[in-house]
Structures are given as C-alpha cells and as structure tokens.
Amino acid sequence: MTKRSVRQPSLSQPRKTRFSSSSVQPNVQRARHTTNERRGSGDDSRLSGIRRHTPDYGLLVAVCALLMCGAVVVYAIGPGLTIGNSLPDNYFSTKQITAILLGIVTFAVAGSLPVALWRRLQTPIIASAAVIALAVRFVGESINGAHRWIEVGGFSFQAAELIKLALVLGLAYFLAEKSRARLMHTPQTLYQIGALVIAVLFVVAGLQSDLGSAAVMVAMIGMMSFAAGLPMKRLGAMFVVAVVLVGLAIGTSEYRRDRVATFLNPQADCQDEGYQACQALITIGSGGLTGKGLGRSVQAYGYLPEPANDSIFAIVAEKFGFVGSVTMVGVFWLLFRKIYSIARRSVDMYTQLLVFGILVWLSVQMMINVAAMLGLIPLKGITLPFVSYGGTSIIFVMVAMGIVFAASRYTDLSAVGVGAGAGGANSKRTHTQALRRRR
C-alpha cells in the first residue's frame, strides 16, 4: 500500500496547478535535482527519473486516418475545383499529397527532438512569428479583404499557423515559470496575460482580419492559464475583456457585422450574404444517412464556396453522410483524448502545459469549423485540422503532433492505468480523486 506521505505535495512544487497530479509526484520527488529546480518546470526526462519508453502510436493511427480522409475528399472533388481555370483535374490533390508528405517529414523531425529543446527554439520561433505577423499586413496577399497570407518562395504562407506554434511554446514556458515561482495569483501575472490577449486580438483579428484564428489563440491563452493555476475570478475578468474587444472588432468591421447578421438569419439572404451558410446546410443535408459516394458530389461544382478548405466538413457529410461525419468526429475525439492523457501523465509542468496547449489549439479549431458549417456559430474562415486543403495548416499541425509524440515517450505510465480490467479503472478513479483533493 502506498504511504500517505508520498501523496503530499513537495514544498518545492507549485500549488493550485490544475494539471499537476499526485500520481506523478513520487517519480518527480525522487529524482528532483537542484539544477532542475533552477531551470524550473523540469528540463529533461533524465532529470525527472522517467525512462524513455515506447511512444503512443495510437496518435499516428488517428492522424493518418484524418490525413487520408482529407486526401481522398480533395481528390474526389478535384474536377469541381478546377472548373474554369484550365488546370488538370488532379492539380489540387497533387498539392495536398505533397503537403501531407512534407507534414510527415516535419512530424518525424519534431518527434525526434527532445521536448526540452523547444524551450531553446522558442525565441527564434517567436521572433519569426512577430516579424511575419506584421509583414503580412503590409506586403501580404489580400484575399476577400483579409491579410492572412504572404508569398514565400512562390508559396502562400498563412501567418496565423506560425503564430499559434509560437504562442503555445512561449506561453507554456511563461506559465510554467510563473507556476514554479507561485506567482499565478498575482495581479502582475494577470496584467501580462491580459496584455497578451490584447496583442493577439490586435494583430490577428485586427491587422490580419482573422477572427477565427484569434478566437483559437484566446482560447489557448485562457485554458492554459487556467490549467497553470490562474484563479477563476481573474480568468473571468480576462474573458470579459476579450469579449469586449471582440465586440469592438465586430462593430468596427462591416464584413464581420454582415457575418453576424447572416448567422442570426441565414435564410434571409441566401443569394448574397447568407449564400455560404445556406449552401453548407444544403450540402450537409443532401448527404443523408450514408452519403452520395465519392464520385457523386454536386455542391463542389461551383455551388459551395471553399469546398476544399473551410467547407470541407460539409463535403465530407455530402459524400459519407451522417455516419461518415460522426465517424470522423469520433476519430478527432479519440485523438484529443490521447493528447489529454499524454498531457496528464507528463512529469513536468512545462511539458504538461505545452501538450495541453496543443490540445486546445486543435480541438477548438475543429469545433469552430464544424460548428460554423452546422450553422451553430458565424462562419469563421478557419480550416479543419488534418483534413482541409492547405500546406501551411497541415505542416504546422504535424509539427505540433510531433511535439506531442515526443512527449509521449517520457510519460509516467503509473499515473494512468495502461492495462485493461480493474487495475486501469482503479488508477483512473485514484487520479480523479487526487485532482479533486488538490483543487
């Protein structure tokens, strides 16, 4: 029987961190080093006492299934995408497969790097993101009034994807350091987090006119801060500020006001402002229970705007029906559950927050895309991770998944039941009870 003294948090550990689990504390306490404490939040698996083990290959299965779904759908609607522009039928599918191959390479590279190395890489990544974020407004390509893309070597590069990666890397380090020093409850920390929210909304929603990506980033900031121990009252105050700023962003833009009005009553103007919302619902409904099949799409032939990008979920519903759509959402759910499990079993605060931030990034972006297609929220112009056409999105989400895959090699397998039967269930109950006691 485990001694009760093992469950007591060490005085050197930050308290009130919602992601810390008493089930991983024994390993961390036994191998705590002075150097590791000075660096804060754990530097390496060799310092945390957790040996390298087999990574979670279930991540690869889920990711490959989603990538394959996207590649098949883009290939199937390729003839519809190339109507009127004198391009070969397989033009877009070829580019999509190329992006997937590049994504696999970036996944392999990111998955082979130690998680601790990303702390040293975050500075040049953040600096690059800051430069591109400002440059895209002045030298970037304007599409539908939005300044989101910049030409790099003949390829279109979406700045928001690099900003998301830079944000999750920098914020994980910042919050881990604040948590280690027990400063999450101080007003200064709240002001710094609030300033970051304002900066994200100004640059992404304001300069780039990308409110969807800005919403994802604000969710990342809020959820990661909460996981690191930010009090609910302070988080609520930050949420109010974000809502006010988003309201101002909508009120000062005729384009965004039209989108909100369309969301409230899409059928009022299905031939103009509400066209995409109406066509998305028609596309989803036409799929029925099992779909029309791969070669029988109608909406991709000039009816549904952005069928390979923002609206690809509607195309999936048209081709594979309700069953296929629910199956794809189920694969996303399994993937997110695995990522959460890896974050929960990580042995240092930095890795926990980094993996959890990636989880928020992918899950919120997926929910926004699907909800917009279903008419539950206004259209946001945001891609469906792993599935939508677009090289920048695929490459950066694959980098993020590579980081998660690397983190899965150094998790505490005793923190969560890994076997079947009563042992795994008891371990999960013990973990839940420990989290409740710590709260």
Question: Which pLDDT does position 396 carry in this prediction?
Answer: 95
- C-alpha to C-alpha distance for 92 and 74, rounded to whole angstroms: 7
Q: Which residues pair with 150 in a beta bridge?
A: 157
Q: How does residue 34 score in pLDDT terms, banded at 50, 70 and 90?
A: very low
Question: Which pLDDT does position 390 carry in this prediction?
Answer: 85
Position 63 in a domain: yes
Question: Which pLDDT does position 296 carry in this prediction?
Answer: 81
Q: Which of 295-299, 331-335, 349-353 has the lowest mean pLDDT?
A: 295-299
Question: Which pLDDT does position 294 carry in this prediction?
Answer: 84
Question: Which pLDDT does position 30 carry in this prediction?
Answer: 37
Find the mean pLDDT for residues 132-161: 74
Coarse DSSP helix, strand, coil percentages of the chain, rounded to the nearest 5 percent:
65, 5, 30
Question: Which pLDDT does position 36 carry in this prediction?
Answer: 41
CB 24 within 8 A of CB 415: yes
Question: Which pLDDT does position 381 carry in this prediction?
Answer: 79
Over the stretch 193-215, which tens digit does the pLDDT of each residue have?
989 988 998 888 878 878 889 99
Could you tell me the residue range of the domain that residue 92 belongs to?
Answer: 49-412
Question: Which pLDDT does position 88 carry in this prediction?
Answer: 86
Position 27 in a domain: no
- C-alpha to C-alpha distance for 218 and 374, rounded to whole angstroms: 22
DSSP letters spanning 162-223 = HHHHHHHHHHHHHHHHHHHTT-TTSHHHHHHHHHHHHHHIIIIIIIS--HHHHHHHHHHHHH
Find the mean pLDDT for residues 366-392: 90
Q: How does residue 32 score in pLDDT terms, banded at 50, 70 and 90?
A: very low
Question: Which pLDDT does position 49 carry in this prediction?
Answer: 52
Question: Which pLDDT does position 50 carry in this prediction?
Answer: 65
Nearest to 148 by CA among 362, 381, 391, 387: 381
Question: Which pLDDT does position 71 carry in this prediction?
Answer: 94
Find the mean pLDDT for residues 73-84: 88
Query: Dihedrals φ, ψ of 148, to 5°?
Result: -115, -15
Position 43 in a domain: no
Position 5 in a domain: no
Question: Which pLDDT does position 17 carry in this prediction?
Answer: 59
CB 268 within 8 A of CB 366: no
DSSP one-letter code for 140 = S
Q: What is the pTM of this model?
A: 0.82
Position 22 in a domain: no
- Regarding predicted confidence, which is higher, 107 or 83? 107
Find the mean pLDDT for residues 387-404: 93
Residue 400 has pLDDT above 60, yes or no: yes
Q: Which residues pair with 142 in a beta bridge?
A: 147
Query: Dihedrals φ, ψ of 265, to 5°?
Result: -150, 75
Q: Which of 149-158, 212-221, 309-318 has the lowest mean pLDDT?
A: 149-158
Number of domains in the chain: 1
Position 145 in a domain: yes
Question: Which pLDDT does position 18 carry in this prediction?
Answer: 61
DSSP letters spanning 61-120 = HHHHHHHHHHHHHHHHTHHHHTTTTT--TTHHHHHHHHHHHHHHHHHHHHHHS-TTHHHH
Structure token pair of residue 388 = 């939508």
Position 387 in a domain: yes
| Pairing status of strand 155-158 against strand 146-152 | antiparallel
When mean pLDDT is compared over 13-27, 239-253, 334-348, the highest value belongs to: 334-348
- C-alpha to C-alpha distance for 435 and 427, rounded to whole angstroms: 12
Structure token pair of residue 204 = 């992404």
Q: How does residue 38 score in pLDDT terms, banded at 50, 70 and 90?
A: very low
Position 53 in a domain: yes
